[in-house]
Chain A
Amino acid sequence: MSVQFEFLGPLKQLVNGQDIVEIQAATVGEALDNMKDLYPGISRRLLSDEGLLHQHINLFVNEDDIRYGNDLETRLSAGDKVTVISAIAGG
């Protein structure tokens, strides 16, 4: 199934400056995995050595922070919108 990934600000460079990327995947983790051939370096820069979403990055599925849910295991459905944005904000 196809979902839309949007990268904001400096994170756009991960997908060659595109605003929206369409990806087929059943979970967030799988989506990131599927992107790595098209966009080399994306896994290394979004995921930590332990394979977790990097602490400086937030990822929202339909506006919900995946860290409050199932993290990279969060399931995706057709038409979902995923936003990837820097977590260095606030306080």
Chain B
Amino acid sequence: MEGVFLIMESQVMNQILECTSCGIVTEYKPETVCPECFGPLEVTYDYESIRGRLSREAFAARPTTMWRYHELLPAIDGGVPETPVGWTPLIKARRLGQVLGMPNLYIKNDAVNFPTLSFKDRVVTVALAKAIDFGFDTVACASTGNLANAMAAQASMLNLSSVILIPQDLEHQKITATACYDTRVVKVNGTYDEVNRLCSELAYREEIGIVNVNLRPYYSEGSKTVGFEIAEQLGWRLPDQVVVPMAGGSLISKIDKGFKELVKVGLAEDKSARIYGAQASGCAPITDLVKTGAKQVTPVKPDTLVKSLSIGAPADGLRASRVINGSGGWAEDVSDEEVVESITLLAETEGIFTEAAGGVTVGVTRKLVEQGKLNRDAVTVICITGNGLKTADLVKHRAAELPLIEPKYSSYSELVNNNEEVRISVGTI
């Protein structure tokens, strides 16, 4: 695997997992369950020592990938992969901001994350590096689509055998792309939650590194880099508000963890960022939890076109709701119709073509502004986590009745110059 790995200087070597429920600590191993209380294991770091060694200036010379934050990512014995993942654009969303009446609106654009155009490339990079460290030669995952793309691509690149389990009703673009890589795709006649459960069984019945089961503590840490990048790109400031789409509830929880870590190691000033969660109405167990304050997730059977967020029994649902409520944020959900409108709104105003999950984020942002839950003037970052080419069928009506002309100037002129031009206008709310 020559050339694929890069040894980072000063990679922190304390390799500790801590149970978030009972606090017991153990060494790094391929396990996500606390041996004492069966709670989730979480990677922790020696923040004091990192604080002493890390300054803002050091970042100028670092690679523009998510590994620029390697001190705050799981230690990788064999060196970190040179995959160009992360460091996606943070753009000022002027036109969308105008429509929503938000002058300080920003978009974190993981629709152009490499190599497979969603934030999932970040988590996979860490998980596969650890899989190699632990000596697995086969890796697997249960996926709602984007993870499948990311796993298949990066496992191919690293020459790892992989098995990818997906519910059979995913968007064909996601299935097709996955099948093009050097991987084994297994379609399952069931919901994502059923596929996930099957994968958990695999983790305990076979010697496989399952990125979102026994490699989950490492995998999920990759999501923190969305938070790190947002803060660094804002000039090492935390935003006032951030809106994040939720499926299992991991990404949103880890963005919050990332913000808090930057404060702990002295890279960002202590300030609380309000965290807002977004789901589709046809699968909203976490927004329900935020609104009811219940002590446990009530699982749902997903019924939405937003496949990437269709997790009815979210493993980090309770954690996500606590992060949201604790930060002074809120959560909302939007209908599939609003999702589709929001996909086109984002394309029309910012030139960003996002997948269904991005439609959820934009739609929920709009709803929260209308409700007065989001402050219009505050510095607000919305997370666009996936690419529209993967869910293009949702908006195919936009191209359904395009005019067809003869290849002659007269035909062109008759259509474009004589007919009244139909322009979709995006009025302010």
Chains A and B form a bound pair: yes
| Residues of A in contact with B (beta carbons under 8 Å apart) | 8-11, 13, 45, 48, 50, 52, 54-58, 60, 65, 67-68, 83, 85-91
Asked if A89 and B200 make an inter-chain contact with CB atoms under 8 angstroms apart, the answer reads: yes
Asked if A65 and B197 make an inter-chain contact with CB atoms under 8 angstroms apart, the answer reads: yes
Contacts of A68 in B (CB 8 A): 299, 301
Asked if A89 and B216 make an inter-chain contact with CB atoms under 8 angstroms apart, the answer reads: yes
Contacts of A90 in B (CB 8 A): 142, 192-193, 196, 199-200, 212-213, 248, 311, 314-315
Task: Pick the interface stretch among B31-39, B235-243, B273-281, B378-386.
Answer: B31-39
Q: Does B428 contact A (CB under 8 A)?
A: no
B31 nearest CB neighbor, chain A only? A10
- Contacts A10-B33, A50-B295, A85-B200 supplied; 14 other A-B pairs, CB < 8 Å: A10-B31, A11-B33, A54-B38, A55-B296, A55-B297, A55-B318, A56-B38, A58-B313, A60-B197, A85-B197, A86-B32, A89-B210, A90-B248, A91-B249
Q: Does B355 contact A (CB under 8 A)?
A: no
Contacts of B313 in A (CB 8 A): 58, 65, 67, 87
Contacts of A57 in B (CB 8 A): 38
| Residues of B in contact with A (beta carbons under 8 Å apart) | 21, 31-33, 35, 37-40, 142, 192-193, 196-197, 199-201, 203-205, 210, 212-213, 216, 220, 247-251, 295-299, 301, 311, 313-316, 318
Q: Decide: A88 near B35, CB < 8 A? Known: A58-B197, A67-B298.
A: no
- Residue of A8, A45, A54, A91 near B314 (CB, 8 A) is A91
Q: How far is the CA of A86 from the CA of B315 in the complex (A)?
A: 10
Q: How far is the CA of A10 from the CA of B30 in the complex (A)?
A: 12
- Residue of B38, B197, B213, B247 near A45 (CB, 8 A) is B38
Asked if B315 and A87 make an inter-chain contact with CB atoms under 8 angstroms apart, the answer reads: yes
Q: Decide: A9 near B203, CB < 8 A? Known: A52-B296, A90-B142, A91-B212.
A: yes
- Residue of A10, A52, A67 near B38 (CB, 8 A) is A10
How many Å from the CB of B30 to the closest CB on chain A?
11
Q: How far is the CA of A50 from the CA of B192 in the complex (A)?
A: 29
Asked if B193 and A65 make an inter-chain contact with CB atoms under 8 angstroms apart, the answer reads: yes
Asked if B204 and A9 make an inter-chain contact with CB atoms under 8 angstroms apart, the answer reads: yes
Asked if A91 and B199 make an inter-chain contact with CB atoms under 8 angstroms apart, the answer reads: no
Q: How far is the CA of A9 from the CA of B313 in the complex (A)?
A: 20
Q: How far is the CA of A68 from the CA of B119 in the complex (A)?
A: 30
